[in-house]
Amino acid sequence: MWKSMAPGYCSICESHPDSARTLSVKMYMDKRLLEAATTGDSTSMKQLAAQNPSILLGTTPQGNNCLHIASIHDHRGFCEDVLEQEKPLLSNVNYESLLAKVNFEGETPLITAVTLGHVSLASFLLGCCHQLELRQAILKQDMYGFNALHHAIRNGHKDLALELIAKEPALSQAMTNFNESPMFIAVMRNFQQVFRKLLEIPYSSHGGKNSCNALHAAAKASVVDHDLRLVVGTFHHLTSCEPSFMF
């Protein structure tokens, strides 16, 4: 009875971690793992995982797992090693990868990496999610409604934004809590290449805050006439908006 209260203990994985029946138990992160993730110490992490594989499932009071922590500090090598450690568990249908876990702000490790501008790490995490077919992990929106694509565009990471669009076009559909679509933000930032790629996706959202849309944003951002015509041609109903909103 009291054993289940021990730090880092998970009764599910006590006998054979590969035969875990469910891995949704919440437990606090071991301080040693937190230190390892913060400093990028893969050796210590592997030693801890060898003693108790379920230790990797622990979270901080903010809901961050060890991938979140390593992503905050841009420790790609640590992230690679953690994901290698969890591979034996992936065959269990009840196991949710650390890549798909969200903290209390609704952020996956991918969103955390993108938000903090760790582009190389974000690209790696995106590739891992794509390889494991974790579509929902890629599509996750944080507590403010922003997904990885919103953040990539807002923070000026054009190449990462293009990679996100290529790997998961459905990211283009999401609207933030402020009614901003990725297309709207792309036009406001005058990211024409990103804008064009989004236009190629028939179901891309185009709305923006304050009752504006991508056409309004294009006018404000002085996007070239060719791209304005593309917007009008693709979303012909936008031309019926009141002119007063255009500038």
CATH code of the domain containing 223:
1.25.40
Q: Residue 175: how many CB atoms within 10 A of its CB?
A: 20
Residue 189's pLDDT band (cuts 50, 70, 90): confident
The CA distance from 118 to 40, in Å, is 15
Q: Which residues contact 71 (CB under 8 A, 6 or more apart)?
A: 79, 109, 110, 112, 113, 116, 118, 121, 125
Q: Residue 19: pLDDT above 80?
A: no
The CA distance from 246 to 91, in Å, is 53
Residue 188's pLDDT band (cuts 50, 70, 90): confident
Q: Pick the residue with more confidence: 15 or 237?
A: 237
Q: Tokens standing for 29?
A: 């992160």
In this prediction, residue 147 carries a pLDDT of 99
Mean pLDDT of the chain: 83
Domain shared by 53 and 112, yes or no: yes
Domain shared by 1 and 79, yes or no: yes
Domain boundary at 118, 140, 162, which? 140
Q: Pick the residue with more confidence: 91 or 216?
A: 91
Q: Tokens standing for 189?
A: 């930032």
156 within some domain: no
Q: How does pLDDT run across 62-117, given as a tens digit for each residue?
A: 999 999 999 999 999 999 999 999 999 898 888 999 999 999 999 999 999 999 99
Q: Residue 184 belongs to what H/E stretch?
A: helix 182-188
Domain shared by 133 and 205, yes or no: no
192 within some domain: yes
Domain boundary at 86, 119, 140, which? 140
The CA distance from 118 to 12, in Å, is 34
Domain shared by 99 and 184, yes or no: no
Mean pLDDT, residues 195-201 = 92
Long-range contact set of residues 194-203: C-beta below 8 Å, sequence gap at least 24: 194/153, 194/158, 194/161, 194/162, 194/165, 195/223, 195/227, 196/227, 196/230, 197/162, 197/165, 197/166, 198/165, 198/172, 199/230, 199/231, 199/234, 201/165, 201/169, 201/172, 203/170, 203/172, 203/173
**In this prediction, what percent of the chain has a pLDDT beyond 70?**
73
In this prediction, residue 15 carries a pLDDT of 35
SS (H, E, C) 85-106: HCHHHCCCCCCCCHHHCCCCCC
One DSSP character per residue, 26-81 reads --BPPHHHHHHHHHT-HHHHHHHHHH-GGGGG-B-TT---HHHHHHHTT-HHHHHH
Q: Pick the residue with more confidence: 109 or 27?
A: 109
Q: How does pLDDT run across 224-239, given as a tens digit for each residue?
A: 445 555 554 555 544 4
233 within some domain: yes
45 within some domain: yes
In this prediction, residue 150 carries a pLDDT of 98
Residue 77 sits in which domain range? 1-140
Domain shared by 23 and 71, yes or no: yes
Burial of 198 (0-12, 13-18, 19+ CB in 10 A): buried
Domain shared by 93 and 186, yes or no: no
Q: Residue 8: pLDDT above 50?
A: no
Domain shared by 246 and 124, yes or no: no
The amino acid sitting at 120 is S
87 within some domain: yes
Domain shared by 179 and 111, yes or no: no
Q: How does pLDDT run across 134-174, given as a tens digit for each residue?
A: 999 999 999 999 999 999 999 999 999 999 999 999 999 99
CATH number of the domain that 136 lies in? 1.25.40.20
Mean pLDDT, residues 181-208 = 88
Domain shared by 110 and 176, yes or no: no
Mean pLDDT, residues 3-15 = 37
In this prediction, residue 190 carries a pLDDT of 84
Residue 1's pLDDT band (cuts 50, 70, 90): very low
Total domain count for the chain? Answer: 2
Query: Which of 2-6, 113-117, 179-183, 190-194 shows the lowest per-residue confidence on average (mean pLDDT)?
Result: 2-6
Domain shared by 94 and 210, yes or no: no
152 within some domain: no
Q: Residue 25: pLDDT above 50?
A: yes
Q: pTM for the full model?
A: 0.80
